[in-house]
Structures are given as C-alpha cells and as structure tokens.
Amino acid sequence: MLAATGDAVGWLRAHASPGRRLSFEEAVAGASLGNAGVVNGGPRLLRSGAFAITAFTEGFHYVEDPGFYYRFGVRRNPRTLAGVQPDGALLLVAVDGRAPGYSAGASFEESAGIMRALGARDAVNLDGGGSTGMTVGGGLVTRPSDATGERPIGEALVVRAGG
C-alpha cells in the first residue's frame, strides 16, 4: 500500500496508479533488516524493563516552543504504543483519551508504566492524539479523539496472521 500526506500527495498522484509498477531504493544506515520493516515513532519509554523516556535526546523538545513537550509528553493524550516482552512477544497497545467519563489518555510516564505492567521489557511511543486508532478483525476497537471521528493518516502498522 502506498499513502502520502502533505506535499507528497501531489507526487504520489502523478506517479502512482492502480496496476502501475513502481520501484524504490531505500537504505537504513547501520541496519540489516532481513524480513523486518521500519516504523516511525518515539520516544522510547522502556529499556530492559526500566523507565527510559528519551524525549529530549530524540528531539521531542523545541526551544522555540517550550510548551510543546508539556502538551505532547506530560499532558495526557491518546497513545499508540509498542513493546516487546522478554520472550520476544510483541505488544501493541492503544490508549484512548480526551473523552471525559471514558478515558483521559496517558502521559509518557504513564505510558511507560502501562507497558511495564503488561510485561514489556522494551517499549516505544508510536503516535498519539487523533492519530491513535486500532482495528482488530476489520472493526475499530478504539474511540478516536477527534470530533470528526477517525483521522486520515499516512501510515499504519499492519499485522497479519501467518508467515
């Protein structure tokens, strides 16, 4: 699946159409991905079972906007989280939020606590806010926080049964 947002929408419409073959070359420095993929996210929340929130070293703090980190990491928001248990099992967690009487969301610290309570050894924040949504078996299992419902986004983590 190809998806684009912002300025990339025009390029994708001009170059891609159903049935047309496109080829891409991409290199990830210092990585041998094998059969793996790349997912955007951050900051890290847990490392080896300990809280290790790396928001500042990963650039989730802006000198020109001192309130950004508070709004993004300290304040409770919907969250999309991923973690790995000691046995290698993958945890994918969505935390609803911004719904008084239903869910308040979670801060980065609370998200790390949630993942550790679920048995994660390592965990990362993938996204949050109105971009948080989870579908299982074709049905939405979260409550999107945007008043208009699900937000159109340019990326997704898809897990399918089988190898």
* Across 24-33, average pLDDT: 58
CA distance 2 to 143: 25
Q: In this model, does residue 81 exceed pLDDT 90?
A: yes
3-state secondary structure 88-141: CCEEEEEECCCECCCECCECHHHHHHHHHHCCCCEEEEEEEHHHCCCEECCEEC
Q: Return mean pLDDT, the chain.
A: 86
Q: Is residue 122 part of a domain?
A: yes
Q: Is residue 152 part of a domain?
A: no
**Spatial CB neighbours of 3, under 8 Å, sequence gap ≥ 6:** 12, 153, 154, 155, 156
Return the pLDDT at 163: 57
Question: What is the domain extent for residue 105?
Answer: 40-140
Kindly report the number of other CB atoms within 10 A of residue 66's CB atom: 9
Q: Is residue 99 part of a domain?
A: yes
pTM of the model: 0.76
* Across 20-35, average pLDDT: 62
- If one compares 90 and 21, the residue with the highest pLDDT of the two is 90
Q: Is residue 158 part of a domain?
A: no
What percentage of the chain reaches a pLDDT higher than 70?
A: 87
Q: Is residue 9 part of a domain?
A: no
CA distance 54 to 2: 30
pLDDT digits (tens, 9 = 90+) for 109-158: 999 999 999 999 999 999 889 989 999 988 999 999 998 888 887 777 87
Phi/psi at 14 (5° precision): -75, -25
- If one compares 96 and 17, the residue with the highest pLDDT of the two is 96
pLDDT digits (tens, 9 = 90+) for 50-80: 999 999 888 888 889 989 999 999 999 999 9
Q: Is residue 22 part of a domain?
A: no
Q: Is residue 7 part of a domain?
A: no
Q: Is residue 61 part of a domain?
A: yes
Domain count, the chain: 1
